[in-house]
Chains A and B, each alone.
Chain A
């Protein structure tokens, strides 16, 4: 294996691992902020116990996210030095702004929140978790501004052999970033909501002495997740339109649409032959893809073949087709998981309304088994986003192959890739072990949740 392939693997492993924890952190911080506000208003003790209880899970997730976030920042310079040279004038700014405006705020106030329970008034203490929730989502915004430029470059010129920023305002109002940020924000809500539902279900199933507070928690979490799910679907729809408009090759590949079509069908299943550049078998619903993009049952969607020809004319010879089967199936997995989660949360709402949730052990168990689903969905979603822009690292400007650090040897990158992967795996095991143990052993929400 060469430095390029190993570096891509290394980055993919770090990012995917990082993003297992990030949506959870984003969504949980907001949920805990809402819950603590409710506590400050009502002074109900169970509510404070829940804040402490969920706070512990939040902190475990946060610490896993933060340490891999540092790795991510360093990877650009370590493995992708030519990318950093070419893009630094633009890409460095949102990264530095993230640290300066968001990450400082988040880390500092999280420290105050964790250890300031007896040092601050309840209202001021509650304000600190709101600052954490705000700044962690602001942090996500800056990172997605940077990522959106890679997907859809704006506000730049090519000068002195690199991309130079000409319009900072265009960069942060990139039309791509809004769909992407909203979709990420709401998937954070869904991810944390599903986890809270599952934990509460577990506690109710095991007749925890805090059954009542967990039932109340389920009411909150059901509403929270339901809002999240509808918004995730809405913003996903917006994003699909963005992609159709700005990255037609990504859309065509997600749909395994080899030939241009009007109206374009949606394939539920396809047997994809990437060699012959066609589907040997497919099960389609007519017009649905056109409808997804144009909100009407007709409209042309360009196929992979035609886009490949266009790209060759514009950028020279080479393949401009990403991993079609990977994108096709990732998209379907994401849609399917969205559907399953919506169904589950609607049932949860119905059972809560009929006051039958506690008497539905089968459904409660089902919720526990649903925990991996949002995490899988988040990962395949990012796979579509990042694998879908290949062979480009910045669409139309720089190819991934030209971005890698020229001074590295395959052995070096191999060692670091294996090293990072082993550490990530060991830490995931440790974190999950501690979190599960904590959830099991904490009777309601422990009084002493903090370091002991």
Chain B
């Protein structure tokens, strides 16, 4: 296996980590406003991710950095292509990040409502936009022979990509609900969360299936047998997650919903392979793991670093979740 393939797999792993972890962070952020009836409830919901959201977000930053280091042309083309979308996403992430820190520092109701709104939109906007980005990558973009995007921001929004965005939004929200059912003491809010999960999960399933159909009709993902298998595994695990959570089997619900995200992300990359960005103008203008990569020297250095540090990161992040494993109750807010 050459280093280019190894790095394609590593990028996949980083995006899997990102969507799995930030998926429930976004979900909790969205649900905090939908489910929390008062300030105490919203605080409790947000408290479930307070110690970890920042570490989770680094998966996205690392995925970006790894693209830069391993496939600089992909980093250059992708980030300049999604310019306005990334601008919106950055504003959302800025507001969300600061909101976690500032919302508790003032007791006025208006202040808290403002930052609650920032957390809601700061979670919903990136969740939606990542769905739009992923479906755009699958369908292909007008990229010329110099790897430069020839379209505009509005070309990124088509019915298919909007459905992709909504799919991500609902799946992440469901994933957040599944996470919360494990993080809060049972009874009280968990019942409300389960009811919300039933509605959101149903919407997510509808959009997921719709998105699969459109993916079949509009992209070449189904040419890859592996991608098809992974995509159907994703659909099956997601439906199983829905059934488990609805029947209050919370642990199974969360594990299955995590698997659904893992399979979906893996299916997406398997469908792209060996490309990272598809040119809709001419297949040979697509950015692949070979024409867009760094030198073997840089890749080998980065491979050593990733081999040492990715397992280490996973180990101490698991330790973090172990420290904060206790289910939260309103009592935890008192000190």
The digit string for A136-147, where 1 denotes a CB below 8 A from any CB of B, is 000000000000
Q: In the complex, are the beta carbons of A71 and B79 less than 8 A apart? A: no
Q: In the complex, are the beta carbons of B76 and A96 less than 8 A apart? A: no
Of residues 27 to 71 in B, which have CB atoms within 8 Å of A's CB atoms? 43, 47, 50-55, 57-58, 61-62, 64-70
Contact of A78 with B102 at beta-carbon distance under 8 Å, contacts A88-B76, A92-B65 already known = no
Contact of A81 with B77 at beta-carbon distance under 8 Å, contacts A92-B65, A115-B324, A427-B98 already known = yes
Q: In the complex, are the beta carbons of A407 and B58 less than 8 A apart? A: no
Q: In the complex, are the beta carbons of B317 and A108 less than 8 A apart? A: yes
Q: Is B90 an interface residue (CB 8 A)?
A: yes
List B contacts of A74 (CB < 8 A). 64, 79, 86, 90
List B contacts of A101 (CB < 8 A). 305, 309
Q: Is B295 an interface residue (CB 8 A)?
A: yes
The digit string for A47-85, where 1 denotes a CB below 8 A from any CB of B, is 000000000000110111011101101101111011011
List B contacts of A450 (CB < 8 A). 104
Number of interface residues of B (CB under 8 A): 70
What residue in chain B is nearest A142 (Cβ atoms)? B65
Q: In the complex, are the beta carbons of B70 and A110 less than 8 A apart? A: no
Q: In the complex, are the beta carbons of A423 and B298 less than 8 A apart? A: no
Of residues 9 to 37 in A, which have CB atoms within 8 Å of B's CB atoms? none
The digit string for B198-212, where 1 denotes a CB below 8 A from any CB of A, is 000000000000000
List A contacts of B58 (CB < 8 A). 99, 103-104, 107-108
Give the one of B77, B80, B102, B333 with max A CB within 10 A.
B80
* A65 to B107 alpha-carbon distance, docked (Å): 24
Q: In the complex, are the beta carbons of B69 and A408 less than 8 A apart? A: no
What residue in chain B is nearest A103 (Cβ atoms)? B58
In the assembled complex, the CB of B56 is this many whole angstroms from the nearest CB of chain A, namely: 8
* A67 to B309 alpha-carbon distance, docked (Å): 23
Name the prevailing secondary structure of the A interface residues. Answer: helix
In the assembled complex, the CB of B179 is this many whole angstroms from the nearest CB of chain A, namely: 16
* A101 to B313 alpha-carbon distance, docked (Å): 8
Contact of A93 with B54 at beta-carbon distance under 8 Å, contacts A64-B98, A427-B98 already known = no
Give the one of B67, B298, B301, B316 with max A CB within 10 A.
B298
* A116 to B320 alpha-carbon distance, docked (Å): 10
* A166 to B58 alpha-carbon distance, docked (Å): 29
Of residues 87 to 112 in B, which have CB atoms within 8 Å of A's CB atoms? 87, 90-91, 93-95, 97-98, 100-107
Q: B323 touches which one: A107, A120, A420, A434 (CB < 8 A)? A: A120
The digit string for B303-319, where 1 denotes a CB below 8 A from any CB of A, is 00110011001001100
Of residues 82 to 102 in A, which have CB atoms within 8 Å of B's CB atoms? 82, 84-85, 87-93, 95-101
List A contacts of B53 (CB < 8 A). 111
Q: In the complex, are the beta carbons of B75 and A92 less than 8 A apart? A: yes
Contact of A81 with B91 at beta-carbon distance under 8 Å, contacts A103-B58, A116-B51 already known = no
Q: Is B81 an interface residue (CB 8 A)?
A: yes
Of residues 268 to 326 in B, which have CB atoms within 8 Å of A's CB atoms? 294-295, 297-298, 301-302, 305-306, 309-310, 313, 316-317, 320, 323-324
Q: In the complex, are the beta carbons of B102 and A60 less than 8 A apart? A: yes
* A431 to B94 alpha-carbon distance, docked (Å): 13
What residue in chain B is nearest A14 (Cβ atoms)? B90
Q: Is A165 an interface residue (CB 8 A)?
A: yes
List A contacts of B78 (CB < 8 A). 77
Binds A, one of B147-155, B217-225, B232-240: B147-155
Pick 21 A–B contacts, CB within 8 A, sort by A. A67-B93, A70-B93, A74-B86, A77-B68, A77-B75, A78-B87, A85-B72, A92-B298, A96-B302, A97-B69, A100-B65, A103-B62, A112-B51, A164-B297, A164-B298, A165-B301, A412-B84, A416-B83, A450-B104, A451-B43, A451-B47
Ranked nearest first, the 9 interchain pairs of A and B with the lowest CB-CB distance are A88-B72, A77-B79, A92-B69, A92-B68, A451-B104, A96-B65, A108-B55, A81-B76, A63-B101
